[in-house]
Structure 1
Amino acid sequence: MFVTVVVGNPKRNSRTRAAAERVAEALSGNPADCVIEVVDLGPALLEWGDDDIAAAVATVGRSDLAVIATPTYKATYTGLLKTFLDKFAGATGMQDVVAVPVMVGGAMDHALAAELTLKPVLAELGATTALPGLFLLESEFESDGRIDAYGHRWAPVVARLTRPLL
């Protein structure tokens, strides 16, 4: 299983990244094969035809599992992540990718944001979004056990969804 983590936080090496990597490992049993920090793609995100952007998009597109993570800004995902997702080709850009929306925030007031704002965008790009979105409190995700519980519940489903066809 090829696993990619996409981090839409404007701060490098953020807690969002740490949470996303833990989710990826909880769902796949291994560390992610690739981590894309969207902020590292720089100003080229605002243009079309950049080779590094195309390579990042291709990496996500060939993933079996992609954990798409962002901090919660104004009850939704970051503009940085949206700009990256806009680079995918319509309803087939994430075809055959099991995508898991993960959002990290400061208060449970935004607990539905992953499900209501990020998950529909991933589905629009053709991703399989069978798992519920996961919202994590920035102050508690390392110790509250929610990532482990999520992995325990959903790892068998990910394994079935990413199993090669015979």
Structure 2
Amino acid sequence: MTTTVVAGNPKPGSRTLDAATRLATSLSGEQPDHVIDVVELGAGLLGWGDPAVKNAVDTVSSSNLVIFASPTFKATYTGILKLFLDQFATGEGLRDVTAVPLMLGAGPAHAMAPDLLLKPVLVELGATCPVAGLYLIDSTYTEDSRIADYAQRWAPVLHATTRTEAS
């Protein structure tokens, strides 16, 4: 199973990236195969045909399981993640990809944001999102058991719905 992390935080090497990597590791039992820190794609996100962006899109499209992560920004996911998601074709761009929406925030007020805001976009792009998204408090996710609890509950479902090369 090929696992990829996509972190849409305007800060490189962010807590969002760390949380998504921890979640991918908990779900798969090993480090993710690919990590895309979207901010590193820079101005190439603003147009079409940038080779680094195309490579990142191809990596995500060919992955089995992708964690799409964003901090909560103005009550939704970030614009930089939106710019990256705009690179995928509607209905087909994430076909055969099992996706997990993950968002971090300062408090519980936006706890439904992964399911209400990010998941519909992923589904519109063709992803399968068979389980609830995950919302983490950015100041406590390294100390609490939310990632481990989520993985214990949902990893079997995600593995069962993930396309493999043998299928």
Same fold (TM over 0.5): yes
What residue number does 2:118 align with? 118
What residue number does 2:88 align with? 88
What residue number does 1:32 align with? 32
- CA positional deviation for 1:161: 1.2
- CA positional deviation for 1:83: 0.4
What is the letter of the counterpart of residue 13 of structure 1? G
What residue number does 2:130 align with? 130
- CA positional deviation for 1:72: 0.3
1:131-150 equivalences under 5 Å are: 131-150=131-150
The count of residues paired between Structure 1 and Structure 2 equals 166
**Which whole-Å deviations, capped at 9, do the CAs of 1:18-76 have from their partners, x for residues lacking one?**
10001101111111000001000000100111111111001000000000000000110
SS in structure 2 at match of 1:129: coil
**Contact 1:28 1:158 survives alignment (8 Å):** no
What residue number does 1:15 align with? 15
- CA positional deviation for 1:143: 1.1
What residue number does 1:101 align with? 101
What residue number does 1:79 align with? 79
Query: Could you say if the C-alpha distance between residues 146 and 48 of structure 1 is closer, same or farther in structure 2, counting changes exceeding 3 Å?
Result: same
What is the letter of the counterpart of residue 68 of structure 2? I
Work out the CA distance in 2 between the residues paired with 1:115 and 1:141.
19
SS in structure 2 at match of 1:102: strand
Percent identity over the alignment is 54
Q: Give unpaired runs (5+ residues) of structure 2.
A: none
